[in-house]
Structure 1
């Protein structure tokens, strides 16, 4: 009796740390309670993970070449649940919506820690460099560019069919010392900015689909961040200049302004809206706005009001990405707070879907390497979707369910 075989999506992953039988002719069967039965060849060396789905069953078996299947047995279960099937990943749920779901990451951790790399590639169709594309890393000395770590990150993305967000070209933090302390005149500073943007965009042309051109230029209460070295050297028009330099350097890449504190209606969101609307009115090249979404669990957002806040940017013809999402839990951490975190993550995904956001990017994916505990001096922890052992948390399931619904 011939097998009915369908190919799973190219981004599927099936892993089995303890294969029940020989890897030769390994087969996988997925049966859904709601109907549907699919068989296809498996691959050796993969790990079959549990994400707690209740309506899908996975079986693994082997069959000799030219013979009927034999020795069918259930796949090994982990953590008391059923095995994760191909489309039980954030990546597959997002792909079905034509949505990007991404994470900030480190090329050093990708190289050093296999489970880090495997989880990143399996769960996300987009990535962003946490640090290695910032000015302090790519141009540590004037005129000397070092793209080694960033190149390794982009190569990993290409190998795993992931898109790359560029972060960031112009920011007041993580500038090399020579760039912010040399006492440049306005014209000299504009030249430094132009050369940096040209050098970076030329190197990554065609490999990075969008860039956060300017990061965090606005003050928390509205108006400009006047302590920025760029503001002090050039003046408020440094933001406009950066976007014009970026468009000259790469006519095709998408250009974003990125900032925090705009997650809900307020003075900073209003200031950003006025800025980008003015840019569009005057022909300053800009394609999108990034909302960072660094918030704690206690920061409940009104879904309707926040979606309307985002939607007004979309109505200008701009793309919107949620670019740096995390959600720390104030200690002491309880299961109730973890459940609240899951609910709030689902709410933020709902805001994105309601408003037509085209990318959801998390600032990391495992609590093991989050910046939140350090930044909050230990007051907050567990902000991401996977725990420190790469196990999916209730927050992961909430995001998956929101994307898959």
Structure 2
């Protein structure tokens, strides 16, 4: 038995319960969690914006220690420190063969299969990982080994916020030295994107968030300017970028209005990259004239367009060299009973990443 925060109904409370993990099967491993970040995608699963079979243990940004392996497992062994990959590629489908493992056809397979039970009732793992539990069972391909000297609380952030934020800048947008970047939304992903823009050598980095108290942290991580959302935001960003607009806008909120703001803040010929996962019922207003006239690119970005097996070692190099600050992204720490409170802070736009420590 293991303690877990269980969601039983859409928009319902998360209750800490004892669940029984399924036996470790072929190609699977059992991981004892050390820490898990609370991501906006967890909130989207909880409130029904993203579909998730229930009851479920949410949490997908986790790190811990392998304690058991099943048959046919290679690459990890008991005692290994690992980061969980909530979108593990199969390496065999069309997308994987095309060099786009972040779009793998089978990345979501584990979401539909119970990983535990309680009172005989099956329990599903949020995004296939179930990291809001003291222990979880995942596929071995969902484990990314990390050095044992890296604090696991920091390693957990690599599993989503940092891979997604930095990857959006370096992989999806392809920001080059000297280009300007606007980052809209300063949660964990947005703050990671700011660091990614600085690492990429961006000249002007404009951080945008409705919470003024985030300015200091944003600037400490690389932002050169800070603005709060307003009707005149695009004009303000043009004034900071030679009158043209940002070469790149990175949207980390997932709302129609902020995607539109990112588009409007981008120069003619620039690129707006959407990272935030929004609701299917939330449209993005564009008119037919501006699409051609501004010659901008509006593109989506899933999981930072990363291959975690390749990109996590690169991020670790940046971290060891002092270019990437992981600890600064954590503004609150809780135990399992505090996940609901973390959701409330997220709804209110307070703080960056909340970390669940086990």
Q: Calculate the TM-score normalised by the size of structure 1.
A: 0.28
TM-score, normalised relative to structure 2: 0.31
Between the two structures, name the one with larger relative contact order (CA 8 Å, sep ≥ 6). 2
Larger Rg: 1
- Give the number of the structure whose residues are more often strand, by fraction: 2
